[in-house]
Amino acid sequence: DEKEKFEPTVFRDTIVQGLNEAGNDLEAIAKFLDSAGSRLDYRRYADTLFDILVAGSMLAPGGTRIDDNDKTKMTNHCVFFADEDHDAIRNYAQVRVAKG
């Protein structure tokens, strides 16, 4: 039996790249996340996925981001960077992620 390696940074890089390529279109973001769900193990990397969708990158214990300000490891397409109004936050909350 060969065990799969746990590589949250590789997962992060894949998700961040896809989100950044989708641009500001939440439908394109949802479509990317749905299609990536068939290739990526969302259950295994649920904490990392949550960090990215909320904070824009992986978080260390205590809540600091682990991206060293490297733009390839972070995205602005997340709740923390959304406009501070009810409709904008609701739109981010409605982006659905397919189970992998």
pLDDT tens, 3-42? 778 899 999 999 999 999 998 888 899 899 999 988 999 9
Q: What is the pLDDT of residues 33-73, one digit of tens each?
A: 999 988 999 999 999 999 999 999 999 998 888 888 888 89
CA distances for 40 relative to 35, 46, 88, 94, angstroms: 9, 11, 27, 21
- The model's pTM is 0.81
